[in-house]
Amino acid sequence: MKTFTAKQMTEQLQHEGADLQLRTIRYYTQIGIIPPLETVGKRRVYTEIHLAYFRAIVTLSNTGETLASIQEQLKKMSLDQIKKIGNQMTLYQSQTLINHETTKINDDAFITLSSRINDEVKQKIVDSVSKIMKEDE
């Protein structure tokens, strides 16, 4: 199992594009929004599980969720669900949001497309997915 110090965890998340500082990692650990740290020898360390939690926290906070809301939601989720959210972290970073547009098809479907795609093609994609979603109802 790969382990991290708080500093290594911060560096890993920053490398992935998260805007987290070391003190934020320590604060999240202190308030219990992530699982308790593992003990290896006499040291307390972070693991890949903690990394998944931090990615999910960053993703959810970038969608406007409050920290209290995120904490409650994470308590109810399986690790697989948390990983799925965390895997979307790059989609909610400012550079991605600036260069992409998201269109809501319905409550179950959203389409995110690069702003480089011309409007005519975007509309065809939205229309096609809308049609498919209506057929599925």
pLDDT tens series, the chain, 137 aa: 899 999 999 999 999 989 899 999 999 999 999 999 999 999 999 999 999 999 999 999 988 899 999 999 999 999 999 999 999 888 776 666 667 788 888 888 888 888 888 989 989 988 888 888 888 66
Q: Please list, in sequence order, all residues whose beta carbon lies within 8 angstroms of the beta carbon of residue 85, skipping any fewer than 6 positions away.
A: 55, 56, 59, 60, 77
Q: According to the model, what pLDDT value does residue 108 have?
A: 81
Residue 67 backbone phi and psi in degrees, to 5:
-60, -40
Q: According to the model, what pLDDT value does residue 96 have?
A: 64
Contact 101, 113 (CB under 8 A): yes
